[in-house]
Structure 1
Amino acid sequence: MKVTEKLEASHKSSSKTTFSFEYFVPKTSQGVQNLYDRMDRMYEASLPQFIDITWNAGGGRLSQLSTDLISTAQSVLGLETCMHLTCTNMPIEEIDSALKKAYDSGCQNILALRGDPPINSNKWEACEGGFNYAKDLIKYIRLKYGDYFDIGVAGYPEGHPEEKDIELNFKYLKEKIDAGGNFIITQMFYDVDNFIDWCDKVRAYGIDVPIIPGIMPITTYGAFLRRAQWGEINIPQDFLDKLDPIKDDDELVREMGTELIVGMCQKLIDSGHVKHLHIYTMNLEKAPLMILDKLGLLPTEGEYNGAQEAMLPWRKSLNPKRKNEEVRPIFWQRRPYSYVARTSQWAVDEFPNGRFGDSSSPAFGDLDLFGAPLIRQSSKKSLELWSTPTNLNEIANLVINYLNGSLKCLPWSDTPLNHEVDSIMSNLIALNRKLIITINSQPVLNGIRSNDPIHGWGPKDGYVYQKQYLEFLLPKEKLPVLEKKLAGNEILTYFAANSEGDLQSNHPDGSKANAVTWGIFPGREVLQPTIVEKVSFLAWKEEFYRILEEWKLNFEENDKVASRDFLQSLIDNYVLVNIVDNDFISKEDSIFSLLMSL
């Protein structure tokens, strides 16, 4: 959705000031993965209207990271996204590539900038085949894409460092708007009175698009001064008077800096000139959320539930190709990144009426389409998180630490657990202590209200149901015992596969999808957002064992021979199993009782 349309709709329905976040592209792949997690957490905590992501100009890996972040934020995290795009070191063919990737991901917002001079130059010059000015970039975007994109432009309340003539700055701003700009995001500032005066002059110049102030939190004294000096930003004397005496105490600077920024933002809101705040997060989480909390802008429970009404148990992608998607296999419950990547090649008609598409789809084919490593942590980070296990007890302890919250991820689980599994927590821990390694699970639910704070999803006036589900690793020699116990059992259904792909199952028709989560809501069909199904399980089995192979390779590269050999034995000697208890009325923990008897 376009930024201007989203803000207009929000401000029409509520007088509450809205906000957005800006992030920059990290320099390392691990930093990128950490940023995804941070963006996700900040969205859950605050529900920003949109996020924007800076552009790394110059082509190659850096530009690729920018477009990857945009695509993942939009398609996987389901966040409305605005992509920065600069003219610096950007010939037309690279601009075309960036715009196409934004378009394909469903991103409808571009912040069009001339950009800063390259790092190795003090003077800005257009590259061969590139543009000289932001207005030229805007005209080109309009020529190629019409009105598909909302285009933001930069505003400079205290003047541009390269142009001191105030009238010329207004002239250049008007030219950008006349070329097709839809909204203005300003450079950071601290002088509110000057900003308000600048807004009045912008309006007097005939510019009537939304003006969004850029807000920079104060986290350390040194960074505060550097950023102000770099942008030639005026610092009010009262800011200096309050911060200079405590400049050597970072904690006090953060506290005072937050109070100063909150006061500044409140004055902006009270002026009537501002309905939206754009916060430069610097990829930090705490300071932006503290500012919003003190301003009273974090969502109330009612606002949060209202915004989530249309949500499924998993956050829906904003990629237009997936607009009808309402069903996913449960196996990727904790790995949304790889699932969306693996199914990114699906055509629009492979989500017919929101239902799970053809299970023979090439979406579940070659893992190479995922591109990136399957383990989202770097080699160094994975060693820090998961150490060097050399036996099953140590793997079990890792899983138990994940279950109790002291570990936020595992090689096969990218996202932390929520409280959904609290009701079966003791059983999960007991199984791991018995060396049955649990991978994924959900408890039984029989008609829980859809507005339940832990288990609820979808419109608030319905009921949700779940079959108990458990996925785990079992020694190969135990599988015949399990099969014998499940022989003739029509209630507990299972799939089991080893690393070679040998499949065992007691499903009456393994090709059919078995709904394990569903919701009943007034005025609409039954929603079935998670299923268990044979072909997708085999695809997940392939991914799971590849994850173990990657983990093993990490030990090999770090000369952890014992851990390498142990992982190989796990791959060779254990089967991946999932069991569904289809009796969602029973209060008996049939799956756990069965496994404890092994």
Structure 2
Amino acid sequence: MKLCQKIAGYKDARPFFTFEFFPPKTDQGFDNLLPRISRLVSLNPLAVNITWGAGGTTKDRSLELAGITQTDHGVDTILHLTCTNMKQGLVDDVLRDAKARGIQNILALRGDPPRGEEYWIPTDPRFTHGADLVSYIKSSPEFSSDFCVGVAAYPDGHPDRETDEDGELEHLKRKVDAGADFIITQLFYDVDTFLQWVKRVRQKGIQVPIIPGIMPIQTYASFLRMTKLCGTRVPHSLMSDLVPLRHDDSKVKDYGVDLAVEMIRKLTTDGDIRGVHLCTLNLEKSVTRVLEGLSWVGGSLKPANRLIAMLQDASIGPDANLIITPHNATDSAAISLAAAGQGPDGEAGKGELNNAASWDDFPNGRFGDFKSPAYGETDLWGSSIMSRNQALEQWGHPKTLDDLTTMFLRHLHSKIATTPFSPTPLSPESLMIIQHLERLTRRGWWTVGSQPAINGASSSDEVVGWGPRGGYVYQKCFVEFFLERADLERIERKIRDEGHGWVDYFAGNVQGECRTTVPEGGRNAVTWGVFPGQEIAQSTIIERESFLSWKDEAFSIWAEWASFYPPDSQERRLLESIRAERWLVSVVHHDYTDPSALWTFLLKGDPVL
């Protein structure tokens, strides 16, 4: 059924809610998401949303997942669809496929826009803005009667900040005038400001339903990252409450649930807001607790789902300040090992390295458990986190290898805030090993991920602590960088001849080759914690599946960065050659008691280093 019709006919006393899911990057994650969706669908959402990767990068998985939710689970599904940077004809193909699967709702998004004079890869000329996609669907003889079309709105302003608030409201009105039937907003945390924005939207003559996007805070690190990427305003009172809790992950999660309940209650007392959109990040514990806190679900929960929720409540929550991807805690990925319970049917159980009941403790990321439904973070409704303005301002016009080395060094020295591989400044944890990262970078081995060795630091440590208080945390040192084939072969010989089993590595290139010392199926837990009354929590895992997933993403970043420069320019040729010729390598030393072990191994005896 079309969402616009369902909203118009909605008569329940309580407000409605929708869920949002994204297709995991791995087959195991995808398979383990399905029973999770089944349980959440039993809570009776009005619809579910399935996200769409930038430029159609998740096309097949998004369509497959949307077809499953629509057909197998019998819940009306809203398929996200971006229109820019899509191959010619792909929009038509997707709409036909969605129609064949019984999907009647589309969230029309702009995706990566042609900002100004950017040199984008040629795309379908019919689409440069979200309004173009709305207009196309609504005016098409083939599709106009088949789809209810929604659009996005940004109550705190679009992350690109290309125009002022009045300009953004004009953009929104153009989308609605083109035929949009409903609006779903980006996440926000300032309810008063949001309600004022709603009034201004109505004053513009926009009368379609507005569904506010609510994302419960999962961890302090992920909260900082998401609000930064989305340009979200964070009330001072929220930060004052959250900062004292930031090293206690279970308290952060509890606070996130309570805050979401408070926000939704306040929003839905306004008669204009009839329902909310819950961004799940493919996690079920927090959103279920939010709905129970609102008394919107609870009594109707099946016994099996009630037991699963109890098991999840017993699990641990690390990841407050864990650095595992581009030198910063906010991109870190962690999945804890829970102390109690057997995993639900269809998901990995307690016999696995990470108990399925613990998967909800973290928004997963690059180096978490590849079997988790949350493996592979969503990319903010198909939008890139890079822009040409950012590229030119911070990364300049690299024409030589030395120019790239200089850019990475400038980030290490805090002279620029980002690199294409790190959306935030260097973290305090990376400063502990900055001299080693600098030596590697000067060698032309551009570092994009690392962590120092830690031997029994307090879980309350301001820099490396995570998990419940009163515990101790441990880390093996690892570093990740791009290098040439000849240098990779030199490292491989060194590991073989001098590693003595203490050093392992993964290496991959854009052509799909993978080299490693880790046996098939091997998993390397490089971060773990010991906490009172609980099992060892192994929170960071490096293994083949997760490395290959990140490797593909890393090389796609080189391609996107290259697209910001004119075809045949020196900059584009350089970046495309790096993508074609270099390898991504991740090296870990297993002696966590010696903070210099990895660096001594890599750097000793090399006159350049």
TM-score normalised over the length of structure 1 = 0.49
Specify which structure has the higher proportion of helix. 1
Larger relative contact order (C-alpha < 8 A, sep ≥ 6)?
2
TM-score normalised over the length of structure 2 = 0.48
Instruction: State which structure, 1 or 2, has the greater radius of gyration over its C-alpha atoms.
Output: 1
